[in-house]
Amino acid sequence: MRVSKRIAGLTGGGSDGWDILRKSREMIAAGIDVVELTIGEHDRRTEPEILDEMARSARSGHTGYAALPGTDGLRDAIAARVAERTGVATARENVVVTPGAQSALFAAHVAACDPGDVALFIDPFYATYPGTIRGVGAVAKAVRAHAETGFQPQAIDLEKAAPGARSLLINSPNNPTGVVYSEDTMQGICEVAKAHDLWVISDEVYDTQIWSGAHLSPRQLPGMADRCLVAGSLSKSHAMTGSRLGWLIGPAEVMEHVENLSTHTTYGVPGFIQDAGLFALAQGQRLEDQIAAPFRRRHKAVATYLAARGVPVVPSVASMYLMVDVRSTGLSGEAFAERLLGEHYIAVMPGESFGTAAAGHLRVALTVEDTRLLDAIQTMADMIETLSANAA
Ligand SMILES: Cc1ncc(COP(=O)(O)O)c(C=O)c1O
Protein backbone atom coordinates (compact mmCIF):
# COMPACT_ATOMS: atom_id res chain seq x y z
CA MET A 1 0.00 0.00 0.00
CA ARG A 2 1.15 3.53 -0.72
CA VAL A 3 1.58 5.84 2.26
CA SER A 4 0.73 9.54 2.12
CA LYS A 5 3.20 12.00 0.66
CA ARG A 6 3.08 13.86 3.95
CA ILE A 7 4.34 10.98 6.06
CA ALA A 8 6.75 9.69 3.42
CA GLY A 9 8.24 13.18 3.10
CA LEU A 10 8.38 13.93 6.83
CA THR A 11 12.17 13.83 7.18
CA GLY A 12 12.72 15.56 3.84
CA GLY A 13 14.81 12.66 2.51
CA GLY A 14 18.54 12.13 3.02
CA SER A 15 20.11 11.70 6.43
CA ASP A 16 18.03 12.53 9.50
CA GLY A 17 21.21 13.91 11.10
CA TRP A 18 21.58 11.16 13.70
CA ASP A 19 24.13 8.96 11.86
CA ILE A 20 26.92 9.54 14.40
CA LEU A 21 24.61 8.71 17.28
CA ARG A 22 23.55 5.46 15.58
CA LYS A 23 27.18 4.55 14.88
CA SER A 24 28.25 5.25 18.44
CA ARG A 25 25.35 3.15 19.77
CA GLU A 26 26.46 0.27 17.53
CA MET A 27 30.02 0.60 18.85
CA ILE A 28 28.78 0.63 22.44
CA ALA A 29 26.66 -2.48 21.73
CA ALA A 30 29.82 -4.13 20.36
CA GLY A 31 31.54 -3.47 23.71
CA ILE A 32 33.56 -0.34 22.78
CA ASP A 33 33.81 2.33 25.49
CA VAL A 34 32.52 5.41 23.64
CA VAL A 35 32.27 8.81 25.33
CA GLU A 36 28.73 9.79 24.31
CA LEU A 37 28.37 13.56 23.94
CA THR A 38 25.52 13.45 21.46
CA ILE A 39 21.96 13.63 22.75
CA GLY A 40 20.58 16.19 25.17
CA GLU A 41 19.83 13.96 28.09
CA HIS A 42 21.01 14.32 31.69
CA ASP A 43 23.43 11.84 33.20
CA ARG A 44 21.10 11.61 36.19
CA ARG A 45 17.67 10.05 36.33
CA THR A 46 14.40 11.57 37.57
CA GLU A 47 14.51 12.38 41.31
CA PRO A 48 13.32 9.45 43.50
CA GLU A 49 10.81 11.76 45.29
CA ILE A 50 9.14 12.56 41.95
CA LEU A 51 8.95 8.84 41.14
CA ASP A 52 7.49 8.17 44.61
CA GLU A 53 4.73 10.69 43.86
CA MET A 54 4.16 9.06 40.46
CA ALA A 55 3.76 5.66 42.13
CA ARG A 56 1.57 7.05 44.93
CA SER A 57 -0.73 8.69 42.38
CA ALA A 58 -0.96 5.56 40.24
CA ARG A 59 -1.63 3.32 43.25
CA SER A 60 -4.32 5.66 44.51
CA GLY A 61 -6.16 5.15 41.23
CA HIS A 62 -5.06 7.95 38.89
CA THR A 63 -4.59 5.44 36.09
CA GLY A 64 -7.76 6.13 34.09
CA TYR A 65 -8.25 8.71 31.35
CA ALA A 66 -7.00 11.98 32.77
CA ALA A 67 -8.44 15.48 32.42
CA LEU A 68 -7.71 16.44 28.81
CA PRO A 69 -6.35 19.91 28.72
CA GLY A 70 -4.49 18.79 31.86
CA THR A 71 -5.55 18.53 35.51
CA ASP A 72 -6.69 21.82 37.03
CA GLY A 73 -3.90 21.65 39.59
CA LEU A 74 -1.13 21.17 37.03
CA ARG A 75 -2.49 23.81 34.64
CA ASP A 76 -2.68 26.27 37.55
CA ALA A 77 0.88 25.45 38.59
CA ILE A 78 2.22 25.87 35.04
CA ALA A 79 0.29 29.14 34.62
CA ALA A 80 1.66 30.43 37.94
CA ARG A 81 5.22 29.45 36.98
CA VAL A 82 4.98 31.19 33.60
CA ALA A 83 3.39 34.31 35.14
CA GLU A 84 6.07 34.47 37.81
CA ARG A 85 8.96 34.00 35.39
CA THR A 86 7.70 36.37 32.69
CA GLY A 87 5.39 38.84 34.42
CA VAL A 88 2.72 38.10 31.78
CA ALA A 89 -0.76 37.36 33.17
CA THR A 90 -1.31 33.63 32.55
CA ALA A 91 -4.28 31.56 33.73
CA ARG A 92 -5.36 27.93 33.54
CA GLU A 93 -7.27 28.74 30.31
CA ASN A 94 -3.97 29.67 28.63
CA VAL A 95 -2.44 26.24 29.26
CA VAL A 96 -2.85 22.84 27.60
CA VAL A 97 -0.74 19.98 28.98
CA THR A 98 0.87 17.90 26.23
CA PRO A 99 3.09 14.81 25.97
CA GLY A 100 6.34 16.83 25.98
CA ALA A 101 7.21 20.08 24.22
CA GLN A 102 7.60 18.14 20.95
CA SER A 103 3.88 17.48 20.90
CA ALA A 104 3.21 21.12 21.88
CA LEU A 105 5.28 22.29 18.89
CA PHE A 106 3.21 20.10 16.58
CA ALA A 107 -0.02 21.42 18.13
CA ALA A 108 1.20 25.01 17.80
CA HIS A 109 1.83 24.57 14.08
CA VAL A 110 -1.54 22.88 13.58
CA ALA A 111 -3.10 25.89 15.30
CA ALA A 112 -1.13 28.43 13.27
CA CYS A 113 -0.88 26.94 9.78
CA ASP A 114 -3.13 25.55 7.10
CA PRO A 115 -1.74 23.01 4.63
CA GLY A 116 0.52 24.80 2.16
CA ASP A 117 1.19 27.76 4.47
CA VAL A 118 4.81 28.79 4.89
CA ALA A 119 6.19 28.25 8.40
CA LEU A 120 9.56 29.87 9.14
CA PHE A 121 12.21 28.46 11.45
CA ILE A 122 15.77 29.50 12.25
CA ASP A 123 18.81 27.58 10.98
CA PRO A 124 20.66 26.13 12.97
CA PHE A 125 17.70 24.30 14.44
CA TYR A 126 16.69 21.44 16.71
CA ALA A 127 16.61 18.43 14.41
CA THR A 128 12.86 17.76 14.52
CA TYR A 129 11.68 21.23 13.46
CA PRO A 130 11.34 20.85 9.68
CA GLY A 131 9.66 17.44 10.08
CA THR A 132 7.22 18.83 12.65
CA ILE A 133 6.24 21.58 10.21
CA ARG A 134 5.95 19.16 7.27
CA GLY A 135 3.86 16.90 9.50
CA VAL A 136 1.10 19.49 9.62
CA GLY A 137 1.25 19.95 5.85
CA ALA A 138 2.93 23.36 6.02
CA VAL A 139 5.99 24.36 4.04
CA ALA A 140 9.13 24.57 6.21
CA LYS A 141 11.30 27.55 5.27
CA ALA A 142 14.62 28.14 7.02
CA VAL A 143 15.98 31.58 7.86
CA ARG A 144 19.72 31.45 8.43
CA ALA A 145 21.40 32.84 11.52
CA HIS A 146 25.13 33.38 11.07
CA ALA A 147 28.22 32.42 13.05
CA GLU A 148 29.53 35.95 12.43
CA THR A 149 26.61 37.48 14.34
CA GLY A 150 26.81 34.95 17.17
CA PHE A 151 23.89 32.97 15.70
CA GLN A 152 21.47 35.75 16.72
CA PRO A 153 18.79 35.84 13.99
CA GLN A 154 18.88 39.21 12.23
CA ALA A 155 15.71 41.21 11.60
CA ILE A 156 16.86 41.96 8.04
CA ASP A 157 16.96 38.22 7.20
CA LEU A 158 13.59 37.63 8.85
CA GLU A 159 12.13 40.60 7.01
CA LYS A 160 13.15 39.08 3.65
CA ALA A 161 11.59 35.70 4.46
CA ALA A 162 8.40 36.91 6.17
CA PRO A 163 6.12 38.07 3.31
CA GLY A 164 3.38 35.47 2.91
CA ALA A 165 4.51 33.32 5.86
CA ARG A 166 2.13 32.37 8.70
CA SER A 167 4.46 31.55 11.56
CA LEU A 168 7.98 31.82 12.89
CA LEU A 169 9.46 29.17 15.19
CA ILE A 170 12.20 30.40 17.51
CA ASN A 171 14.22 28.69 20.25
CA SER A 172 16.00 30.60 22.99
CA PRO A 173 18.04 29.36 24.81
CA ASN A 174 19.00 27.64 21.61
CA ASN A 175 19.73 24.06 20.75
CA PRO A 176 22.29 23.49 19.22
CA THR A 177 24.20 26.75 19.79
CA GLY A 178 23.54 27.48 23.49
CA VAL A 179 22.90 31.10 22.47
CA VAL A 180 20.29 33.19 24.31
CA TYR A 181 18.56 35.71 22.05
CA SER A 182 19.35 39.26 23.12
CA GLU A 183 16.66 41.84 23.78
CA ASP A 184 17.54 43.45 20.43
CA THR A 185 17.13 40.14 18.62
CA MET A 186 13.80 39.52 20.34
CA GLN A 187 12.60 43.06 19.53
CA GLY A 188 13.52 42.48 15.88
CA ILE A 189 11.66 39.17 15.82
CA CYS A 190 8.57 40.75 17.34
CA GLU A 191 8.59 43.74 15.00
CA VAL A 192 8.79 41.48 11.95
CA ALA A 193 6.05 39.25 13.38
CA LYS A 194 3.74 42.21 13.89
CA ALA A 195 4.50 43.76 10.50
CA HIS A 196 3.72 40.49 8.68
CA ASP A 197 1.03 39.18 11.03
CA LEU A 198 3.01 36.05 11.97
CA TRP A 199 2.41 33.69 14.84
CA VAL A 200 5.57 33.40 16.93
CA ILE A 201 6.02 29.84 18.18
CA SER A 202 8.59 29.97 20.95
CA ASP A 203 10.32 26.80 22.14
CA GLU A 204 11.52 27.53 25.68
CA VAL A 205 12.46 24.07 26.98
CA TYR A 206 15.90 25.30 28.12
CA ASP A 207 14.63 28.29 30.12
CA THR A 208 16.17 26.96 33.38
CA GLN A 209 19.62 26.49 31.84
CA ILE A 210 20.90 30.07 31.56
CA TRP A 211 24.35 30.66 33.01
CA SER A 212 24.44 34.44 32.79
CA GLY A 213 21.76 37.03 32.05
CA ALA A 214 18.06 36.29 32.03
CA HIS A 215 15.55 34.51 29.87
CA LEU A 216 13.32 36.69 27.72
CA SER A 217 10.21 35.25 26.12
CA PRO A 218 8.72 37.02 23.07
CA ARG A 219 5.38 36.77 24.92
CA GLN A 220 6.74 39.40 27.35
CA LEU A 221 7.12 42.08 24.71
CA PRO A 222 4.31 44.63 24.21
CA GLY A 223 1.41 43.41 22.08
CA MET A 224 2.87 39.92 21.64
CA ALA A 225 0.82 37.71 24.02
CA ASP A 226 -1.99 37.34 21.47
CA ARG A 227 0.31 36.10 18.69
CA CYS A 228 2.62 33.89 20.76
CA LEU A 229 2.40 30.15 21.33
CA VAL A 230 4.99 29.02 23.85
CA ALA A 231 6.13 25.40 24.26
CA GLY A 232 7.71 24.25 27.50
CA SER A 233 8.27 21.02 29.40
CA LEU A 234 9.76 19.33 32.43
CA SER A 235 12.14 17.26 30.26
CA LYS A 236 15.23 19.42 30.70
CA SER A 237 14.32 21.44 33.80
CA HIS A 238 13.48 18.40 35.95
CA ALA A 239 15.31 15.53 34.22
CA MET A 240 11.94 14.06 33.20
CA THR A 241 12.59 13.43 29.49
CA GLY A 242 10.93 10.00 29.56
CA SER A 243 7.82 11.19 31.39
CA ARG A 244 6.71 13.13 28.30
CA LEU A 245 5.25 16.06 30.19
CA GLY A 246 5.06 19.45 28.52
CA TRP A 247 2.67 22.25 27.70
CA LEU A 248 1.57 24.86 25.23
CA ILE A 249 0.75 28.40 26.38
CA GLY A 250 -1.35 30.74 24.25
CA PRO A 251 -4.51 32.84 24.02
CA ALA A 252 -7.46 31.10 25.73
CA GLU A 253 -9.58 30.88 22.56
CA VAL A 254 -6.71 29.17 20.70
CA MET A 255 -6.16 26.75 23.58
CA GLU A 256 -9.76 25.55 23.17
CA HIS A 257 -8.84 24.41 19.66
CA VAL A 258 -5.61 22.84 20.93
CA GLU A 259 -7.67 20.90 23.47
CA ASN A 260 -9.78 19.58 20.56
CA LEU A 261 -6.58 18.54 18.82
CA SER A 262 -5.49 16.63 21.94
CA THR A 263 -8.85 14.84 22.02
CA HIS A 264 -8.30 13.66 18.48
CA THR A 265 -4.61 12.80 18.68
CA THR A 266 -2.84 12.12 21.98
CA TYR A 267 -5.81 12.00 24.36
CA GLY A 268 -3.70 13.81 26.90
CA VAL A 269 -1.08 12.81 29.42
CA PRO A 270 -1.47 10.05 32.06
CA GLY A 271 -2.83 11.38 35.37
CA PHE A 272 -0.04 9.87 37.48
CA ILE A 273 2.55 11.63 35.29
CA GLN A 274 0.68 14.91 35.67
CA ASP A 275 0.59 14.46 39.47
CA ALA A 276 4.34 13.78 39.48
CA GLY A 277 4.82 16.94 37.38
CA LEU A 278 2.75 18.95 39.84
CA PHE A 279 4.90 17.63 42.68
CA ALA A 280 8.08 18.46 40.71
CA LEU A 281 6.96 22.05 40.09
CA ALA A 282 6.03 22.43 43.78
CA GLN A 283 9.71 21.86 44.67
CA GLY A 284 10.35 25.28 43.12
CA GLN A 285 13.58 26.86 42.00
CA ARG A 286 15.75 24.78 44.37
CA LEU A 287 15.23 21.57 42.40
CA GLU A 288 15.55 23.32 39.02
CA ASP A 289 18.90 24.80 40.11
CA GLN A 290 20.06 21.41 41.36
CA ILE A 291 19.24 19.73 38.03
CA ALA A 292 20.92 22.54 36.06
CA ALA A 293 24.04 22.74 38.27
CA PRO A 294 26.20 20.08 36.52
CA PHE A 295 25.69 21.78 33.13
CA ARG A 296 26.50 25.21 34.55
CA ARG A 297 29.72 23.79 36.05
CA ARG A 298 30.75 21.83 32.95
CA HIS A 299 29.90 24.68 30.57
CA LYS A 300 32.27 26.95 32.48
CA ALA A 301 35.02 24.33 32.77
CA VAL A 302 34.93 23.36 29.08
CA ALA A 303 34.63 26.96 27.79
CA THR A 304 37.55 28.03 30.02
CA TYR A 305 39.72 25.11 28.91
CA LEU A 306 39.02 25.62 25.20
CA ALA A 307 39.64 29.38 25.48
CA ALA A 308 43.03 28.65 27.07
CA ARG A 309 43.81 26.29 24.18
CA GLY A 310 42.75 28.92 21.62
CA VAL A 311 39.94 26.71 20.26
CA PRO A 312 37.05 28.90 19.03
CA VAL A 313 33.62 28.19 20.51
CA VAL A 314 30.28 29.84 19.81
CA PRO A 315 29.93 32.45 22.57
CA SER A 316 27.08 30.94 24.54
CA VAL A 317 25.63 31.50 27.99
CA ALA A 318 23.14 28.68 28.25
CA SER A 319 22.07 25.07 27.86
CA MET A 320 23.62 21.62 28.17
CA TYR A 321 25.57 22.12 24.93
CA LEU A 322 28.63 23.95 23.70
CA MET A 323 29.40 24.52 20.01
CA VAL A 324 32.98 24.24 18.86
CA ASP A 325 34.15 25.78 15.62
CA VAL A 326 36.38 23.36 13.66
CA ARG A 327 36.46 25.25 10.36
CA SER A 328 40.19 25.94 10.77
CA THR A 329 40.83 22.19 10.31
CA GLY A 330 39.51 22.29 6.75
CA LEU A 331 37.12 19.46 7.63
CA SER A 332 33.36 19.62 7.70
CA GLY A 333 31.73 19.04 11.08
CA GLU A 334 30.59 15.65 9.77
CA ALA A 335 34.06 14.57 8.66
CA PHE A 336 35.59 15.76 11.93
CA ALA A 337 32.94 13.99 14.03
CA GLU A 338 33.46 10.75 12.04
CA ARG A 339 37.20 10.86 12.71
CA LEU A 340 36.76 11.74 16.39
CA LEU A 341 34.50 8.73 16.78
CA GLY A 342 36.54 6.35 14.64
CA GLU A 343 39.96 7.26 16.06
CA HIS A 344 39.19 8.32 19.63
CA TYR A 345 35.78 6.81 20.47
CA ILE A 346 34.27 10.20 21.25
CA ALA A 347 30.81 10.89 19.82
CA VAL A 348 29.65 14.49 19.21
CA MET A 349 27.02 15.88 16.86
CA PRO A 350 28.21 17.58 13.67
CA GLY A 351 26.80 21.09 13.15
CA GLU A 352 25.45 19.87 9.79
CA SER A 353 22.91 17.77 11.71
CA PHE A 354 21.21 21.05 12.64
CA GLY A 355 20.99 22.66 9.22
CA THR A 356 23.45 24.48 7.02
CA ALA A 357 24.27 27.52 9.17
CA ALA A 358 26.34 25.59 11.74
CA ALA A 359 28.37 23.64 9.18
CA GLY A 360 32.00 23.24 10.28
CA HIS A 361 30.97 23.16 13.94
CA LEU A 362 30.45 20.41 16.52
CA ARG A 363 27.75 20.33 19.16
CA VAL A 364 29.15 18.87 22.36
CA ALA A 365 26.54 17.72 24.89
CA LEU A 366 27.90 18.25 28.41
CA THR A 367 26.25 15.08 29.59
CA VAL A 368 28.96 12.89 31.09
CA GLU A 369 30.81 13.08 34.39
CA ASP A 370 33.25 16.04 34.59
CA THR A 371 36.63 14.24 34.43
CA ARG A 372 35.57 12.00 31.57
CA LEU A 373 34.16 15.04 29.76
CA LEU A 374 37.33 17.11 30.18
CA ASP A 375 39.53 14.21 29.03
CA ALA A 376 37.42 13.94 25.87
CA ILE A 377 37.56 17.72 25.34
CA GLN A 378 41.35 17.63 25.64
CA THR A 379 41.56 14.89 22.99
CA MET A 380 39.25 16.90 20.74
CA ALA A 381 41.33 20.08 21.23
CA ASP A 382 44.53 18.14 20.41
CA MET A 383 42.94 16.91 17.20
CA ILE A 384 41.73 20.41 16.24
CA GLU A 385 45.22 21.80 16.92
CA THR A 386 47.01 19.16 14.83
CA LEU A 387 44.59 19.29 11.90
CA SER A 388 44.52 23.11 11.89
CA ALA A 389 48.32 23.25 11.83
CA ASN A 390 48.35 20.80 8.89
CA ALA A 391 45.70 22.78 7.04
CA ALA A 392 47.45 26.15 7.52
C1 LIG B 1 14.98 22.65 21.41
C2 LIG B 1 14.20 21.45 21.84
N3 LIG B 1 12.86 21.51 21.77
C4 LIG B 1 12.10 20.46 22.13
C5 LIG B 1 12.68 19.29 22.57
C6 LIG B 1 11.79 18.16 22.95
O7 LIG B 1 11.38 18.35 24.29
P8 LIG B 1 10.38 17.36 25.01
O9 LIG B 1 11.16 16.24 25.61
O10 LIG B 1 9.72 18.22 26.03
O11 LIG B 1 9.41 16.88 23.97
C12 LIG B 1 14.07 19.19 22.65
C13 LIG B 1 14.71 17.93 23.07
O14 LIG B 1 15.91 17.74 23.02
C15 LIG B 1 14.85 20.30 22.28
O16 LIG B 1 16.19 20.28 22.34
Is the minimum distance from the CB of 126 to ligand 1 under 6 angstroms? yes
Is the minimum distance from the CB of 101 to ligand 1 under 6 angstroms? yes
Helix pair 284-309, 271-282: axis angle to 10 deg: 80
State pTM to two decimals: 0.96
Identify whether the C-beta of residue 205 lies closer than 8 Å to the C-beta of residue 349: no
Q: What is the pLDDT of residue 12?
A: 82
Is the minimum distance from the CB of 130 to ligand 1 under 6 angstroms? no
> What is the DSSP code string of 234-300?
STTTTT-GGG--EEEE--HHHHHHHHHHHHHTT----HHHHHHHHHHHHTHHHHHHHHHHHHHHHHH
Spacing, Cα 132 to ligand 1 middle (Å):
12
- C-alpha 48: how far from chain center: 25
Q: What is the pLDDT of residue 167?
A: 98
Is the minimum distance from the CB of 40 to ligand 1 under 6 angstroms? yes
Peptide bond into 350 cis (omega under 30): no
In this predicted model, what pLDDT tens digit does every residue of 180-203 receive, in sequence order? 999 999 999 999 999 999 999 999
Helix (H, G, I), strand (E, B) or coil at 203: strand
Q: What is the pLDDT of residue 195?
A: 98
Helix (H, G, I), strand (E, B) or coil at 381: helix
From 97, 233, 320, 354, mutation site for ligand 1 pocket: most ligand atoms within 8 A of C-beta: 233
Residues in the chain with pLDDT values less than 50: none
Q: What is the pLDDT of residue 238?
A: 98
What's the distance, Cα to Cα, between the start and end of the chain in Å? 55
Spacing, Cα 230 to ligand 1 middle (Å):
13
Q: What is the pLDDT of residue 76?
A: 98
Biggest alpha carbon–alpha carbon distance for the chain: 67
From 215, 235, 241, mutation site for ligand 1 pocket: most ligand atoms within 8 A of C-beta: 235
Is the minimum distance from the CB of 175 to ligand 1 under 6 angstroms? yes
* Percent of the chain that is helix, strand, coil (3-state, to 5): 50, 15, 35
Is the minimum distance from the CB of 171 to ligand 1 under 6 angstroms? yes
What residue spans of 30-173 are helical by DSSP H? 48-59, 72-86, 100-112, 129-135, 155-161
Spacing, Cα 15 to ligand 1 middle (Å):
20
Q: How many CB atoms lie within 10 A of CB 251?
A: 15
Spacing, Cα 248 to ligand 1 middle (Å):
13
Spacing, Cα 329 to ligand 1 middle (Å):
31
From 42, 126, 244, mutation site for ligand 1 pocket: most ligand atoms within 8 A of C-beta: 126
Identify whether the C-beta of residue 369 lies closer than 8 Å to the C-beta of residue 341: no
Rounded to the nearest 10 degrees, how much is the dihedral formed by the CA atoms of 194, 195, 199, 203?
-70
Query: Among 135, 132, 142, which Cα is nearest to 165's?
Result: 142
> What is the DSSP code string of 333-372?
HHHHHHHHHHHH-EEEEEGGGG-STTTTEEEEE--S-HHH
Q: What is the pLDDT of residue 13?
A: 74
Rounded to whole angstroms, how far apart are CA atoms 108 and 153? 21
Q: What is the pLDDT of residue 144?
A: 97
